[in-house]
Amino acid sequence: MTIAASRPPVEIHERMYTAADLAELPSELPSGTVRYEIDNGRLISMAPPCDQHGAVEANFAFVLKLHGQQRGLGKARCGDVGVILWRDPDRVVGADVLFVANASLPIRRSREGYLETIPDLVVEVVSKNDTAPYTRRKAEDYLAAGVRLMWVADPGSRTIMAYEPEKDPKVFREGDTLTAGEIIPGFQVSVAEVFEE
């Protein structure tokens, strides 16, 4: 009886993507528009958000610009802004809305144009394919990178989950008011207002 020589297991190495790779990817494919993020070197493709997502994003962008940027307290950005949370392997996220307080200015950008400045406040609007574990992990990644306050707005339940370092997440409902603490002193907006369509 002959014994076949055993072969070592085949190792499959997944390509590790970087912020530079991300900048080269097309945003239009034959199947339509596509967005990307990099999760510790792994490329993630996402469908474009729906109208309700866009309405909530626009509402947050408006109030952060009005009550933060126009009062000279920092800079607001919106529209899936690329933020490099860390490198090697790269973690690049597309923030729906963000605010960089004056203490964190000036804004630093990578060669590709992505933010290297970690925002003080980030808003993520839940999309139809986002799961609760995914959004929770994404919030944890933002906080680990130095974000001081993160709001995860869910248009379906009309709730906002607030994440801060070393605190338990807090849920805000339509009768509640959001504040931004020291990031934007005096800032207040009702949860119902940000979900207006």
pLDDT in tens, 100-141: 999 999 999 999 999 999 999 999 999 988 999 999 999 999
Question: Topology of domain 49-194, per CATH?
Answer: tt1808, chain A (3.90.1570)
Which pLDDT belongs to residue 10? 52
Which pLDDT belongs to residue 14? 77
Which pLDDT belongs to residue 129? 85
Which pLDDT belongs to residue 22? 95
Q: Hey, what are 99's tokens? A: 């605010």
CA angle 187, 192, 193 (to 5 degrees): 55
Structure confidence by residue, pLDDT tens digits, 10-62: 555 578 999 999 999 998 888 888 899 999 999 998 888 899 999 999 999 99
Predicted TM-score (pTM) of this structure: 0.90
Burial class (CB in 10 A: 0-12, 13-18, 19+), 13: exposed
The three-class DSSP label of residue 58 is helix
Angstrom distance (rounded) from CA 32 to CA 115: 26
Which pLDDT belongs to residue 7? 54
Which residues 6+ apart lie within 8 Å of 161 measured at CB?
135, 139, 151, 152, 154, 169, 170, 171, 172
Q: How confident is the model at residue 1 (pLDDT cuts 50, 70, 90)?
A: very low
User: pLDDT higher for 174 or 4?
Assistant: 174
Which pLDDT belongs to residue 24? 95
Structure confidence by residue, pLDDT tens digits, 134-160: 999 999 999 999 999 999 999 999 999
Residue boundaries of the structural domains of the chain: 49-194
Which pLDDT belongs to residue 88? 96
Q: Hey, what are 23's tokens? A: 């900048």
